[in-house]
A and B are shown apart, each in its own frame.
Chain A
Amino acid sequence: MSSGSAGADVVEPNLTSLLDLVMQLLMFFIMCVNFVSNQAAAEIALPDSQAAAPLEDKNTDALFVNIRPFNSSDPILIGKYSENPKYLEKLSEKFQPGQVYVIINGQEPMSLGSFRNWLRDQRSRAILEKGGDKDSKLDTIIIIRAHRETDYKDVYEVMETCRNQGYNQLFVRVLKV
C-alpha cells in the first residue's frame, strides 16, 4: 500500500539524464570511429619542424604513406602494440631489423618493393575508373609520413616511386612545434 500509493501518485521516469548519457556515448563513439579511420599510423614519430605550413582543408583524395624502419626494440613500437603482441611478431617475421616498411591504411605493412607494386596496381585501377590514358597525371595527393629515424634514401625512394607512378602532388608531414 505504501509503495503502491506512491507509485500510483505519479509515474514519470526522468529520461533526461538517460538521454544525455546516451548522446554522450554516441558522440564518443563517433569520434573514436573518426580516429580509427584516420590514415595516420600511430607508430610513426614525425620529425619536428617550425616553419611547416599548417594543414589545409581536408583533402578528400589523399593517400597517406607511412614509412618507418623496423626496430623491435623501439619503445614506440613496443608501447603502441603492447596490447597487440601479435602485430610485433608479424612484423619481425616479415622484416629484418632496420628494414624500412610502408604502412598504408587498410593494407598489411609492406616492404618498399611491394609498395611499388601496390602503387602501380592502384594507379592502373584509378586510370581504369577515370578513363585516362597511361601517362595521365593523377590528382591524388600523396602525404608522406616518415619516421624520424628513417634513412633519407628510403624516404627518397618512396617519393621517387610516387612520382614515377604519376603522383605529382606530394606533401611531407611533420610535427609543428
Chain B
Amino acid sequence: MNKRFKVSCFDPKSGSTRDLMLVASDEAAVMSLVQQAGLLAMSIELVDVSGKEGSSPPAESQPISAPIAVPQPSNPIPVAPVVAPVAKVVTPVAKVSKAVPVQPVPVAIPAPVAVPAPSAAPVSKAVPVQPAPVAVPVAVKGPTTAPVSKATSRTSLPAKVQAIPPASTLTLGAPGDFSPETAPVSRKRRRHNENTFPPEGEVVINVVPMLDMTFQLLFFFIITFQSPSGVEAQIPLTLPPPEGQQEASKDKKENTDKDIIPTIDSDVTVEIKSLNNPQYPGEMGEVEVSGLAKEVFRPTPGKSLDEGRAEVLGRLGDAMKQMAQDLKKDNLSLRLKADPGVKWERVIQVADTCRQAKFLGIRFEKPGGS
C-alpha cells in the first residue's frame, strides 16, 4: 500500500526550498527518491489522501509510475517561478488543476534533442541522477489505489509542467521504461490534444460524419426503393355513356362498316362467360370474341381449372394479336363484358391479355345476364 508524502526539500544547486508530493511505500523510499534527485529532504509529512478523495471509491490496486521531470541545463525558465506553483500544488488538490492547466503538455519539444532517452527514461525503476538537477523526479512504482495514484500523477505533472515545461513533456513522450499502465495515459492525452489543436501541416480527416451521412442515404434509398414486382399500375378505362346515349351508339354500331377501323365504339367485344360451377364461384368459363369475326374460346374438356384458363387466355391472346395485325393500328380498343358473377381477377386477366395484344382502350360494358 502506497502512501502520499509531502516532502520539503532543499535544492543545493539553486539554493532554494520546495515542496513535493511523492507516492511511496514508506519514508525510506521517499528519502532514497529525494536523494537520487540530488535534493536534500528537510521534512517528510504523511498526507492522507483517502479523505480528500472520498467521492471516488478506491479501485483495484495497480502499479503506477508517475511521470518524471527531467532537468534541462539550458532551461530558460528561471527557478524562482517554479517554487511558487509548487507550493500551490501541495495544498488542496483541486486548486492545482485549475491553477496549472494541463494544456502545456501538447507543446512538445523534440525529445531526442533535449534529453538522451536512455538516461532520462528509466522512470519506474530508478530515477537517474542528473548532473544538473533542477527538476524533481517523481517516480514511484508499486501498487496503489487508483484515485490516489491518479491524484499524484496529476498534481505532480502540472507542477513539473510549470516548472520545466519542455523537459517534462519530453520525458513523457520519450521511449522509456514506462510501465504499461502509464504509457497509454500519456499518449491518450497527447492524442486528444492533437485532435483539438491539430498541429500545423497535419491534415486530420474526420470520416465519422461522412459515414453517418452515407448510412443515412443508404437507408433512404433502401426505403424508397420499390421492387419491380408488386408495384401498382393502372389501366385507364372508358365507360359506356349513360343510358340515353347508349342507344345511339348501338345504332351506330349496327351501321358500322366492317372496313372502318374500330374506335372506342369498336365492334370488337370480348365477353367473359361464367363457368357456372358452384364449386368454383367466380371462375370464367368460355370467352367469346365478337366483332370482326366471332370466335369462342373454351377450355379443352378434362383439363384442370388453371390449365384450362391458361389455355383460353393463350388462345385469346393469339387471336387478339392476329386481329390487331389485321387492323394495322396502334391504339386499338374494345368492349369488355363479363357475366355478373365473374371474379374481378379474371376480368383483369382478360383485359390484360387484350392490352398485350395492343388493344389498349378497354371499355367495360354492363354485365350480361347469366
Contacts and interface: CB of A to CB of B under 8 A. Distances in A.
Interface of A: 1-5, 8-10, 16-17, 20, 23-24, 27, 31, 40, 46-55, 143, 146-153, 155-156, 159-160, 162-164, 168, 170-177
Shortest 6 CB-CB distances between A and B: which pairs?
A153-B340, A148-B345, A52-B233, A51-B355, A176-B233, A47-B348
A146 B343 CA distance: 10
A151 B341 contact: yes
B234 A2 contact: no
Given A50-B356, A52-B352, A149-B344, A31 B216 contact: no
Contacts of A171: 234-237
A54 B235 contact: no
Contacts of A148: 343-345, 348
A17 B233 CA distance: 40
A9 B102 contact: yes
Contacts of A147: 344
Nearest to A153: B340
B151 A1 contact: yes
B53 interface: yes
Contacts of B352: 48-52, 174
Contacts of B242: 163-164
Given A152-B342, A156-B364, A49 B235 contact: yes
Contacts of B341: 151-153
Nearest to B358: A51
Interface stretch (B71-79, B92-100, B110-118, B259-267): B92-100
Contacts of B239: 159-160, 162-163, 168, 170
B364 A159 contact: yes
Given A50-B352, A151-B340, A151-B342, A175 B93 contact: no
Contacts, number: 159
A134 B94 CA distance: 87
B344 A150 contact: yes
Nearest to B367: A153
Contacts of A170: 236-239
Contacts of A46: 232
Given A24-B216, A148-B345, A175 B237 contact: no
Interface stretch (B17-25, B34-42, B175-183, B223-231): B223-231
B191 to A, nearest CB: 13
Most buried by B among A2, A40, A50, A163: A2
Contact of A5 (B154, B196, B208): B154
A5 B157 CA distance: 12
B329 interface: no
B147 interface: yes
Given A1-B52, A53-B233, A170-B237, A152 B347 contact: yes
A53 B231 CA distance: 11
B343 A152 contact: yes
B235 A53 contact: yes
A152 B356 CA distance: 21
Given A16-B212, A47-B344, A1 B154 contact: yes
Contacts of A10: 192, 196
Nearest to B149: A2
B215 to A, nearest CB: 8
Contacts of B98: 8
A163 B364 CA distance: 12
30 contacts: A1-B97, A1-B147, A1-B150, A2-B146, A3-B56, A10-B196, A16-B208, A16-B212, A17-B212, A27-B220, A48-B345, A49-B351, A50-B356, A52-B233, A53-B235, A148-B345, A148-B348, A149-B282, A153-B367, A155-B347, A160-B239, A170-B236, A172-B235, A172-B237, A173-B234, A174-B232, A174-B348, A175-B231, A175-B232, A176-B231
B366 interface: yes
Interface in B124-159: 146-147, 150-151, 154
Contacts of A17: 212
A53 B196 CA distance: 58
B151 A152 contact: no
Interface in B254-275: 272
Interface string B357-368: 000000010110
Contacts of A146: 344
Interface in B269-293: 272, 282
B267 to A, nearest CB: 21
A49 B233 contact: yes
Contacts of B192: 10
A165 to B, nearest CB: 11
B338 interface: yes
A63 B356 CA distance: 27
B154 A143 contact: no
Given A150-B344, A152-B343, A172-B236, 19 more contacts: A1-B154, A2-B53, A3-B55, A4-B94, A8-B98, A47-B344, A49-B233, A50-B352, A50-B356, A148-B345, A150-B343, A151-B342, A152-B344, A155-B347, A171-B237, A173-B233, A173-B234, A175-B232, A175-B233
